[in-house]
Structure 1
Amino acid sequence: MSSYATPPGGLPPQTQLTTNRARFTQAYAVLPRGTMTDIVTSALPHWDGTRLWVVARPLTGFAETFSQYVVEVAPGGGSDRPELDPRAEAVLLVVTGTVTLGLAGTDGGTTEHELGQGGYAYLPPDAPWTLRNGGAEVATFHWVRKAYEAVDGIEVPEAFVTHESQVEAVEMPGTEGAWRTQRFVDPADVRHDMHVNIVTFEPGGAIPFPETHVMEHGLYVLEGKAVYLLNEDWVEVEAGDFLWLRAFCPQACYAGGPGRFRYLLYKDVNRHARLW
């Protein structure tokens, strides 16, 4: 079973140096795990026993298509009205504890799904859902949100629930398994306008060229460490860090070990570029 990083919370001692790896540039941002303290948490309307770290939100002139939260729900906490924007689709990935996700069916009933570590859910726009922590331990999950871009003649995708263990990790060509991606949605399914995948590198695995593309990224490191190329800078990253990459930001990485390097990756896909 994997052990996934979560925000440390708390507050550093007064003796700690202020120097760290935090960066915010015109092309990318790096939020090291140490920046996710108690003093930067937020609350949400209609959520009980819950706090969250907002690690990405749309900013004009920077990343513009998504928001991402790391949500911590205490025992007994949760929400019966979690999403207030009917345009918003979402992906949830549970990293600690267990939550109960309620999905409304077309028959008016509700189906409940128990999601533990590695549990994954896609929630389409305007789909009623609830989330509760009925366990005895704090539960933590990633919540990626995007305003769904509807297309005439294309159906909105349906909700689904799965687990990362049920999704095959497909190796990238020529890597002999050193670089693998778990794709939770078929890339050819144009109903979906975002992909949220888990990418894994074995020690020594690498992206051996600077990827430069129109998709913007949110990248939360779940396990391990690596050196990541962001625009013109090589930056060390580790479990619990979050990276935010603007469209066309050159990127590559090298996973030096000693263990595997894994991250949750968001990207926008399958839609025309907007013409303002």
Structure 2
Amino acid sequence: MTDSTLHLIKAFFLGIIEGLTEFIPVSSTGHLIIFGDWISFSSSTGKVFEVVIQLGSILAVMWVFRARLWQLIRGTLTGVPTEMAFTRNLLVAFIPAAVIGAIFIKSIKQVFYHPGVVAVTLVLGGLIMLWVERKTHETPGDTPGAADDTASDERASARTLEQITWKQALGVGVAQCVAMIPGTSRSGATIIGGMIAGIQRKTATEFSFFLAMPTMLGAAAYDLYRNIDLLSQHDLSAIAVGFLAAFLSALVVVRAVLRFVSNHTYRVFAWYRIALGIVVAVWLSLFA
């Protein structure tokens, strides 16, 4: 097997990882850093590969929500109040990450893109998720931790996308800024941030999917613009393979996540994060 073929196989594998993890709260970037380090995948343009293959994932979610997305665009252009409010909320949630990312993303990549950082943020994020899930399920008089996994979010004030307020959207946007640290998870930060703000879990998940569209498209376009002259044919081939793998795997995951959150909490993902973070930390202490 030639080095070029092996490189494309690694790119395809990482594309699958990206698609499987982008829309569940376990950190796709964290997984790409961990698995990319383990399989010794390298790109001459640093982290551009990881960002650009996310386009495959975001196009998958746009395809799944294509009817609702078209309704949103058409309603906004024709002045439908509910659709205009939804568009406003997406812009409000998008702006904080756009501003912070434009200013600090280079420094963040230089400092935080390391498996050790990912291990820490995976564990911390998992613990926060467990705490938020417990709080959103408890009602006055409940025994702490006694809530049923299939119970609805009793305290949620926004149960549909149309009921989300601009203040709740801003809270989600601020939470998204934290996700710039790898291992935190963009979807995890925005979903949990939405739940803390009073948005029902399934609705917070759907809002996170829609917010991913401008956020991830913007990040990928920005990285391509800054590094297009540095990309070689070697890099472009790997990106194309990773893009396709991410698109196909994300198509499966998006639908599965929406079904899952209708009847379950995110506790299983929280425990997965904690377990993976511990495994990575032990691995680094023994072999790094």
- Flag the structure with higher helix content: 2
* TM-score, structure 2 as length reference: 0.25
Greater relative contact order, per chain length (Cα 8 Å cut-off, separation 6+): 2
- Flag the structure with higher strand content: 1
